[in-house]
Structure 1
Amino acid sequence: MFPIRDHNPSGRTPFVVYALMAANILIFFSYLGIMDDARLLNRFYFDYAIIPARISDGVAFETLLTSMFLHGGWMHLAGNMLFLWIFGDNLEDEMGHLPFLLFYLTAGIGAGLIHVVTAPDSVVPTIGASGAIAGVMGGYLLLFPKARVDILLILIVYFRVFTIPAFIMLGLWLAMQFLGSLASNPDEGGVAYWAHTGGFAVGLVLCIPLWLRRGGIDFWDRTHGHPPHPEHKYKLTQSRIPKVPRK
């Protein structure tokens, strides 16, 4: 189950979201040629990925920033860019361009620090924009909890697109990350669940002042938990998505 779009166009062109997506894609292409060379790739990750043990030793703090623009493969990159594209534009619209950029970078650095704190002796390189994007999702949940998001559900040979409120989709995502945080061992590699969980919390907290300036609970009452612009109506609705039964 993963989101494919929301129904909430932004009121301004999300230049920062586009720039961040371009930066991530171009940087990925810049080292794509060494992906099959383990020695070169390991050296590259040593220089630019988060390695908690190094930061615990008081060095390589710059990797908290550089690691946010690295990805381990096509699906890693595509998944992160999809989430950024879906949820980032509305937050940029609400915050403004420069404040959103600062918010994004702060959430990513905060997620990286939380990952270091939870695995201070790990020598496993950690890369990806998912900590920062988790922060975007946390802010989106606070500001637009009832925004409508289209979800693609795939169960073996059954697939279905349906629409649910953002708080359900994001709440389920956060719950899965938190459970993964409790069950995983960061020293063994894999998904950096604590970075996801921590980034989400950092993004939500960073958005509290904006939410309060908009009126807090009154802001929810005025907007009914939706972004301020009229919903986009897609021609392809859930009633026209076929069900494929199991044979």
Structure 2
Amino acid sequence: MVIPVHDVNPTRRTPWVTYALIAAGFVVFLRTPGMAGSVTGEGGLAQLCRLESFLDQWAAVPRELIHERLPRLVPTGQVGVGPAGPGCLVGPPDYDKSPPLSVLTSMFLHGSWLHLLGNMLFLWIFGDNVEDRLGHVRYLLFYGVCGYAAAYGFAFVNADSGTPMIGASGAIAGVLGAYLALFPRVRVWVLVPFLLFLPLRLPAWTVLGAWFALQAVYSYGAGVSQAGTVAYLAHVLGFAAGMLLAWPLRRGTLPPPEPPGAVWGRRARPGTPWQGQSRPGW
């Protein structure tokens, strides 16, 4: 799997929504019980019980989404001792949870620093150009629609699952699908793990197409030993939703120029062909 680090694709407006989503992801992660001080998100039993209670309240659970009802017993966040030894206590929920709304809150939850940083990296690199093309408001709505499509699609296939779904991966996969539809030939700098890390500049269709193919293979449990711990199918569904939503905008999207002498530049420089001009379809 290649690691994207930069795309040569100037923008004409500041991606405030993308910045806000990234900032919100970090803020929520730092306020998630036990996550801020751990690289892996793992800890003692008391921390695990608090985390289970937190996720049960704020994460999306497939069987709750499909059946529209909450379980009678949920983790309380406290540790107890039973016949099998210490464990997390359960009891009637002391909160009112809306399953549809839990899809929205689950988009800002992550299970580890690696989970968070991986998602935010992809959003940082590819989100600004999709926001630039859609506009701030439409981009925010697009992001939410892709997240909901990924979550509910996964829930329909796993209707009896009680495992909480967390992460912005489904929504960000939608951003990747839109990027592929709008900017398939844009060059993307990636690091390829070969001995150390080999930097290459590849077209977006190669990078994102390979990413989608891996998610599709993993969604069938091939090539990974713990496929059930990651909702790969949600990635596939989010990507497909984003690509379908962005496809009608392809004809109005001009291919971006590559600023001369600014390989790592993000913004359009004065003198580029579309600087100061409007694009068709805006």
Q: TM-score, normalised by structure 1?
A: 0.84
CA shift for structure 1 position 228: 5.7
The aligned runs of 1:128-207 (5 Å cut-off) are: 128-155=167-194, 157-183=195-221, 189-207=228-246
Deviation string 1:18-54 (CA, Å, 9 cap, x unpaired) is 0000111101111144663111111111111121111
- Counterpart position of 2:4: 3
Shift of the 47–32 alpha-carbon distance from structure 1 to 2, 3 Å rule, reads closer
Structure 2: 5+ residue runs without aligned partners? 36-40, 70-98, 266-282
Q: Secondary structure at the match of 2:6?
A: strand
- Counterpart position of 2:54: 44
Shift of the 229–105 alpha-carbon distance from structure 1 to 2, 3 Å rule, reads farther
Q: Is the 8 A contact 1:11 1:229 kept in 2?
A: no
Deviation string 1:39-87 (CA, Å, 9 cap, x unpaired) is 1111111111121111121141211111100000101100000000000
CA shift for structure 1 position 207: 1.0
Q: Is the 8 A contact 1:124 1:188 kept in 2?
A: no
Q: Is the 8 A contact 1:124 1:189 kept in 2?
A: no
CA shift for structure 1 position 201: 0.3
Q: Is the 8 A contact 1:11 1:93 kept in 2?
A: yes
Q: Is the 8 A contact 2:151 2:170 kept in 1?
A: yes
Greater radius of gyration (CA): 2
Letter in 1 for 2:180: L
The aligned runs of 1:1-247 (5 Å cut-off) are: 1-33=2-34, 36=43, 37-59=47-69, 60-155=99-194, 157-183=195-221, 189-212=228-251, 214=252, 223=254, 226-227=255-256, 230=259, 232-234=262-264
Size of the alignment, in residue pairs? 223
Q: Secondary structure at the match of 2:189?
A: strand
Deviation string 1:148-171 (CA, Å, 9 cap, x unpaired) is 10110113x332100000000000
Deviation string 1:142-201 (CA, Å, 9 cap, x unpaired) is 00000110110113x33210000000000000000001112269x974111110000000
How far apart are the structure 1 equivalents of 2:55 and 2:256? 39
CA shift for structure 1 position 136: 0.2
Q: Is the 8 A contact 1:118 1:194 kept in 2?
A: no
**Structure with greater helix share of residues:** 1
- Structure 1's consecutive aligned runs of 4 or more residues displaced over 2 angstroms after TM superposition are 32-36, 208-212, 226-232
